[in-house]
């Protein structure tokens, strides 16, 4: 298995590392029981990373989303979900189109204790790890440094009573 991995890495076309940045806009939806207590909301994010080969990328990301809580103790109260983490992306291109799959994880923070009322978060426990996986499609513009994309991710938050989210985003990517 190690030999196969080394052959795949060494057989990649020679290139210097490429750096990229992304800015994204989308929506985050809570699934399962959490979806009954948190409305979908707008999400913003940013990524910085490096491509070691034409198909393997490592990145760091930050993201935030705003949601209205639907709990019996309060009406019209909002909360934010903040995330910071790393991801690994495997990508391929055909012409001007690219496909990728990604996986990652990091740390998430809820901005308020409003979800304590429905046992999604617990008093004094509003931060914890997350794991995510997703895929996307991108289109390279005439200038190959820019690309537009559409992507989606599924995430789980083990510290928060089986909390799961689905996010969908459009993004602009710049590579150098």
Q: Mind listing the pLDDT tens digit for each residue in 21-41?
A: 999 999 999 998 888 889 999
Q: What is the dihedral of CA 116, 118, 121, 123, to 10 degrees?
A: 30
Nearest to 62, CA basis, from 79, 78, 77, 49? 49
Q: Mind listing the pLDDT tens digit for each residue in 65-101?
A: 999 998 887 778 999 999 999 999 999 999 999 999 9
User: Residue for token digits 């019996």?
Assistant: 72
Question: Can you state the percent helix, strand and coil of the chain, rounding each to 5?
Answer: 10, 65, 25
DSSP string, 84-99: EEEEEEEEEEETTEEE
Q: Domain 15-175, what architecture?
A: Beta Barrel (2.40)
> Could you state, in order of their start, the residue ranges of all structural domains in the chain?
15-175
CB 121 within 8 A of CB 110: yes
């Amino acid at each position: 298995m190690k030999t196969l991995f080394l052959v795949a890495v060494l057989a990649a076309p020679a290139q210097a590392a490429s750096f990229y940045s992304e800015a994204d806009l989308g929506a985050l939806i809570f699934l399962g029981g959490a979806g009954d207590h948190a409305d979908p909301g707008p999400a913003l994010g940013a990524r910085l990373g490096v491509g070691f080969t034409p198909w393997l990328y490592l990145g760091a990301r930050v993201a935030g989303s705003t949601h209205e809580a639907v709990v019996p103790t309060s009406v019209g109260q909002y909360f934010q979900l903040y995330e910071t983490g790393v991801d690994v992306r495997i990508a391929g291109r055909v012409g001007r189109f690219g496909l990728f799959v990604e996986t990652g994880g990091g740390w998430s923070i809820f901005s308020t204790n409003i979800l304590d009322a429905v046992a999604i978060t617990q008093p004094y426990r509003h931060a914890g790890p997350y794991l995510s996986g997703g895929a996307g499609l991108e289109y390279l513009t005439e200038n190959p440094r820019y690309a537009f994309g559409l992507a989606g991710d599924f995430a789980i938050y083990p510290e928060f009573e089986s909390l799961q989210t689905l996010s969908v985003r459009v993004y602009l990517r710049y590579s150098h």
